[in-house]
Structure 1
Amino acid sequence: MSNLRKRLVAVDQYVRLKGNKDQHEQTDAWSNRDLIPLPPSRRTWGWFHFFGFWAISSLNIANWQTPSTYLTQGLSVRQSMLIIVVGRILIAMFSTLIAWAGLKWHIGFTVQNRYTWGMRASYIPLLQRILLNFIWNAVQCWNGGRLIAVCITCIWPSFARIPNTFGPNMPTTTYEFVGFTVFWFLSTPFLWLRPEKFKIPFLIMSLWCGLGMLSWMIWALAVAKGVGPLWDSGQQIPGGSPWGASWLIMAGINQQVGGLAAGITNGSDFSRYARAPKHYLIGTVLSCMVTGVMVCFIGLVTASAAQKIYGEVYWNPPDLLMVMMDYGNGSSKARAGVFFLAAGFAFTAMFENICGNAVAGGIDLAGLFPRYIDIRRGAIITFLAAWIVQPWQLINRATTFIQVLSSFAVFLAPVMGLMACDYYILRKRKIRLSHLYRTHDTNYWFWKGMNWRAIPAWCAGWAPTIGGLVVTVRMDPSPPRALVQLYFMAFLIGEYPSSALHYHLSSRCHRACHDNIGLGFFISGILFYVLNIVFPVPDMDQYDEIDYYGTFTVQEAERIGVVPLEQSGIVGIDDEGIIRAETEEVVVSSYGKKV
């Protein structure tokens, strides 16, 4: 028994993460190298990194198809583009609002929630994101596999007619499954890239996919000799519709913001890598406004011109690409062009999935098991989970589950409301970094590790939308008008699932990953503020007087008002939360003083 115990201990020690203590990378139940405040040496992201980061949420099939959602509802082209522009402005604003704590204090979403929810209760938003990361990683792999299947068809045209070797109980075909498998294996090497090294993939992706989209639009316009009839679509809201254009526009704006709710929520996971706040602002605003709007515009023009060429509207790029090369029977020139386009879309989908789901999932898993999981291990676990999730079952069969999961993002916007209220209003943008990584003598333990004020405030944010979830799942053709109006005004008070607005979208998975809009931001934020006024928390606007982790540059430390580590006579904080000085051992008190 003793030998077995020794072996288990040896395995445990081997598996445990090791940090460089000279760099203050202590590894314990609350901290590891990827959770501590990032030092200047690891903050490598310039403006183009953030341009590329937001570009991957724009240079994709979902954003290309965005205008179709609003046109199908009966809105005009001008109204659809208005929704897109206003939505992108709001996305840039909310992204900056939530990510600012990462820019100033260099901590991510995983740690950021500890001062709002409490050390233990911070697992509530963390578990939500882990679940979503697992599911959407699998779904993104499946959707990316469709593009890989197109690429394979370009090389071997007969692949489009490959016999289906699966039985009737398998809700997919050999053609789809091979694409998924190849996409998954091609994506795997990128999991070893740390976020500090994302610049080259961002550059390749932006140039390849961006130029590919522009080339596709120019080709379509040249062949069609102009824009097709879709471009001239006016307002065509059915006469019997209970909703006017203003309601639909409001709903569309909400949908735009909610489409990126998950990425906005954990924005600090990546903003903390910024060399300076200006890099985040420049890259984010440029990408959201230029790339985000242009991709929608290009998708609309291309679909309109293709309608003139083929006599039918193809909003889904893989479908249009297959038609362009006549399902593999086209010329070698046509197949080469289609391969270039499909590969660009596939590479973007690949890195969007790695960055937005796998790496983000890795950071969240690191928050659960800091001793054993870092970003890389967590990303690998998230990616392996795709085979357990079995996206072919979800997409091709479990339509109701996809709808419910799409609406699951309604729980994230109240989290954002809590984060914004707590950081900007209650704490006045001040955080005690040393208190975020221990359970003793900390301002963030609250009551047994939980800030009970956050829980009812969070529940109040998503409670009004539960009826919308029920309506969506039941496919109610005549939902209560007041309930739907509540959804349409969700930007101010809640959220609605867009599928409750328009059930008969042709694709069951169209924008499935990003169909929901911001939930209960203001409800949760306001209630959280009221609870903190009635039941105040002491010392909310306190911060460390000394930069114990070596987080800040000299200029940053001076601006914030902390003493740089190298000037403090302190070596750092060890695994037990004890500050090691050059000549004495001291313990951090609740006010960050030496005792």
Structure 2
Amino acid sequence: MGLRKRLTSVDQKIRLKGNDEEHEQTDAWSNRDLIPLPPSRRTWGWFNFFGFWAIASLNLSNWQTPNTYLTMGLSVPQAMLVIVISRLLIALFSAVIAWIGLKWHIGFTVQNRYSWGMKGSFIPLSQRILLNFIWNAVQCWNGGRLVAVCLTAIWPSFAQIKNTFGPNMPTTTDQFVGFVVFWFLSTPFLWLRPENFKVPFLIVCVWCGVGMLAWMIWALSVAKGVGPLWNSGQTIPTGSPFGTSWLIMAGINQGIGSLAAGITNGSDFSRYSRSRRSYIYGTISSCVVTGVLVSLIGLVTASAAQKIYGEVYWNPPDLLMRMMDSGRGSSKARAGVFFLSAGFAFTAMFENICGNSIAGGIDLAGLFPRYIDIRRGAIITFVAAWVVQPWQLINKATTFIAVLSSFSVFLAPLIGIMACDYYMLRKRRIRLSHLYRTHDSSYYFWKGVNWRAIPAWICGWAPTIGGLVVTVRRDLNPPKALVQLYYTAFLIGFFISALVFYALNILFPVQKMDQIDDVDIYGTFTEAEAKRVGVAPFEELPINGLAAGRKSSEKTVVVQDGKGV
């Protein structure tokens, strides 16, 4: 009996507490970070969204993107064409998903409940949580490489530090120290809530943006122009089974797929927007314009550096080390390298916090609402980096990383189902109160699962999974049709899953899919928003009928079945 009391006491202490006056009920389906966001918590203006997309652009992978397409055999103009088209499509697909958060102020975690069912939503959530765990660890490792450059710039002898790890450890001491330092420096940012991201976004945009431009100008000045890389023409092998058109399609598919996880969680952050206009301006100006410019700057810098050093350096840490001659360069060179590598490192740090840790925290909150909020979930995701052991993945299992990069094969069908359900079946109408309960909920379906979503999702990735397998295995003579399907995996997955889901709902219809609440139960909408959505504003609720809240000047009175509670 004593043990039971102690366990009960511990349970009560670790459970989340919500502010009932702000409708932050904490139960099996809801907590403060899952409810529809009220106007007071919607703090993101256009610059927040500019910064959100900037951290996905001002990074190592986007800097190196042209190299991917040049390696495929495309010319420089063709590579830049692929990047422009990819960015436009990313902005389009992101807006399609994020619009749900802009209107109803719910995120990916809750959004899937009306498509998959209350319990079925755990299927897409589990995929995202797994990805967040692994990519968080990988990003920590990549950030650690940049920290190692910073340490070398400060203490040149760090580059020659003795490797104390044995031959069975797939890393070196300096790499591991960089990872540890990056991980610990990132930890304080886990306490930031998305409402307060503006200042870090501003620092990232100014520091890394100015650093990239300065780096390009320096390279062009020293090289006195661009190098031969800039004039690279098409180099597709004569015997290649794929022509220019298919390689461009493959590049576009890869470009969209690289940000597929960010597309799925668009509503997690769009729900913080003060207005739709803020989202549109910030997303277009950053996702498209900044994304293309960073790739162009990376291409120009790598080309000019080729003229300076005689070889192509696409990986910024490698080029930075060469610029200061592994720490043996002048103090001016080391100071410049420190400024650049620290800017890249801070960007990688906050990109990881925002795109992986915070996103992972929101998804974990959906699984365990009573005990996990964004902050706790972000901490769990970040600590999991030590369990994942990224040094094993990066330095040994390159095939595994290739599989992760191609995970859009499974995410695109999710996006297709979400878009079809919201825009075509539900006519952009959601009953918010039914997303947070299982009793008498329109979204409980059959034992908590909307079985229609499962075959629709499988049909989306089944045609392309074979191409993924042969590509990752690097088969010498793979079936051409399989590879071609894989080169269009994102679009195929999106449209097939959307069509199958639509057909299943026509054959096996769900009743009253376009219902909404009569009243604004959670205080989600401003008066203008409530009028646009078609619900009664929070202040004008009836005494009887649907469970609702009435605001007074001093307190909130909850009315249920005609009785004040």
TM-score, L = length of structure 2: 0.97
Give the direction of change, closer, same or farther, for the CA distance of 1:276–1:367 in structure 2 (3 Å limit): same
Matched, 1:82 2:81: yes
Partner residue of 1:533?
A: 506
RMSD: 1.6
Partner residue of 2:560?
A: 586
Give the direction of change, closer, same or farther, for the CA distance of 1:224–1:443 in structure 2 (3 Å limit): same
CA displacement, residues 162-208 of structure 1 (integer Å, 9 cap, x when unaligned): 00000111110001000000000000000000000000000000000
Deviates more, 1:578-587 or 1:139-148: 578-587
Partner residue of 1:118?
A: 117
Matched, 1:177 2:176: yes
Q: Matched residues in 2 for 1:14 and 1:208: separation?
A: 42
Q: Matched residues in 1 for 2:38 and 2:287: separation?
A: 28
CA drift at 1:237: 1.2
CA displacement, residues 408-464 of structure 1 (integer Å, 9 cap, x when unaligned): 332111000000000000000000000000000110001110101000000000111
Matched, 1:241 2:240: yes
CA drift at 1:473: 3.9
Partner residue of 2:484?
A: 485
Deviates more, 1:394-403 or 1:198-207: 394-403
CA drift at 1:87: 0.8
Give the direction of change, closer, same or farther, for the CA distance of 1:452–1:9 in structure 2 (3 Å limit): same
Q: Superposed, which structure 2 residues align to 1:529-568 within 5 Å?
A: 529-568=502-541
CA drift at 1:530: 0.3
Amino acid at match of 2:247: L
Q: Matched residues in 1 for 2:104 and 2:456: separation?
A: 25
Residue aligned with 2:560, SS: strand
Amino acid at match of 1:320: L
CA drift at 1:584: 8.6
Give the direction of change, closer, same or farther, for the CA distance of 1:47–1:583 in structure 2 (3 Å limit): closer
Give the direction of change, closer, same or farther, for the CA distance of 1:345–1:46 in structure 2 (3 Å limit): same
Q: Matched residues in 1 for 2:467 and 2:528: separation?
A: 49
Q: Superposed, which structure 2 residues align to 1:207-286 within 5 Å?
A: 207-286=206-285
TM-score, L = length of structure 1: 0.92
Q: Matched residues in 1 for 2:558 and 2:288: separation?
A: 54
CA drift at 1:565: 1.3
Residue aligned with 1:566, SS: coil
CA drift at 1:583: 8.6
Q: Matched residues in 2 for 1:559 and 1:400: separation?
A: 50
| Residue ranges of structure 1 left out of the alignment (5+ in a row) | 494-519, 589-593
Give the direction of change, closer, same or farther, for the CA distance of 1:333–1:528 in structure 2 (3 Å limit): same
Contact kept? 2:412, 2:490, Cα under 8 Å: no
Amino acid at match of 1:490: A
Partner residue of 1:347?
A: 346
* Percent identity of paired positions between Structure 1 and Structure 2: 77
Matched, 1:143 2:142: yes
CA displacement, residues 61-110 of structure 1 (integer Å, 9 cap, x when unaligned): 00000000111111111111111111111111111001111000000000
Q: Matched residues in 2 for 1:400 and 1:235: separation?
A: 27
CA displacement, residues 523-554 of structure 1 (integer Å, 9 cap, x when unaligned): 00000000000100000011001000000001
Q: Matched residues in 2 for 1:322 and 1:356: separation?
A: 28
CA drift at 1:469: 3.0
Partner residue of 2:385?
A: 386
Amino acid at match of 2:521: Y
Q: Matched residues in 1 for 2:501 and 2:298: separation?
A: 41
Deviates more, 1:19-28 or 1:233-242: 233-242
Contact kept? 1:572, 1:580, Cα under 8 Å: no
Q: Matched residues in 2 for 1:52 and 1:318: separation?
A: 23
CA drift at 1:475: 2.1
Partner residue of 1:463?
A: 462
Contact kept? 1:571, 1:579, Cα under 8 Å: no
Residue aligned with 2:407, SS: helix
Q: Superposed, which structure 2 residues align to 1:369-380 within 5 Å?
A: 369-380=368-379
Give the direction of change, closer, same or farther, for the CA distance of 1:169–1:587 in structure 2 (3 Å limit): farther
Contact kept? 1:549, 1:572, Cα under 8 Å: no
Partner residue of 2:70?
A: 71
Q: Matched residues in 2 for 1:293 and 1:402: separation?
A: 24
Amino acid at match of 2:308: I
Residue aligned with 2:406, SS: helix
Partner residue of 1:424?
A: 423
Partner residue of 2:553?
A: none
Amino acid at match of 1:334: A
Q: Matched residues in 2 for 1:487 and 1:580: separation?
A: 51
Q: Matched residues in 2 for 1:345 and 1:394: separation?
A: 22
Contact kept? 2:548, 2:558, Cα under 8 Å: no
Residue aligned with 1:527, SS: helix
| Residue ranges of structure 2 left out of the alignment (5+ in a row) | 551-555
Contact kept? 2:117, 2:443, Cα under 8 Å: yes
Q: Matched residues in 2 for 1:583 and 1:316: separation?
A: 59
Q: Matched residues in 2 for 1:291 and 1:149: separation?
A: 27
Amino acid at match of 2:163: N
Q: Matched residues in 2 for 1:53 and 1:572: separation?
A: 42
Give the direction of change, closer, same or farther, for the CA distance of 1:553–1:357 in structure 2 (3 Å limit): same
CA drift at 1:474: 2.6
Residue aligned with 1:338, SS: helix
Amino acid at match of 2:218: W
Amino acid at match of 1:11: V
Contact kept? 1:579, 1:587, Cα under 8 Å: no
Matched, 1:452 2:451: yes
CA drift at 1:402: 2.2
CA displacement, residues 9-64 of structure 1 (integer Å, 9 cap, x when unaligned): 11111000000000000000000000000000000000000000011110000000
Give the direction of change, closer, same or farther, for the CA distance of 1:436–1:267 in structure 2 (3 Å limit): same
Q: Superposed, which structure 2 residues align to 1:94-113 within 5 Å?
A: 94-113=93-112
Q: Matched residues in 2 for 1:583 and 1:189: separation?
A: 38
CA drift at 1:366: 0.1
Partner residue of 1:504?
A: none
Partner residue of 1:14?
A: 13
Amino acid at match of 2:215: W
Q: Matched residues in 1 for 2:396 and 2:489: separation?
A: 30
Partner residue of 1:500?
A: none
CA drift at 1:572: 12
Partner residue of 1:511?
A: none
Partner residue of 1:162?
A: 161
Contact kept? 1:418, 1:454, Cα under 8 Å: yes
Contact kept? 1:101, 1:268, Cα under 8 Å: yes
Partner residue of 2:39?
A: 40
Partner residue of 2:496?
A: 523
Amino acid at match of 1:95: S
CA displacement, residues 264-320 of structure 1 (integer Å, 9 cap, x when unaligned): 011100000000111001000000121100000000000000000000000000000
CA drift at 1:348: 0.4
Contact kept? 1:403, 1:472, Cα under 8 Å: no
Give the direction of change, closer, same or farther, for the CA distance of 1:115–1:239 in structure 2 (3 Å limit): same
Contact kept? 1:407, 1:469, Cα under 8 Å: yes
Amino acid at match of 1:530: A
Residue aligned with 1:57, SS: coil
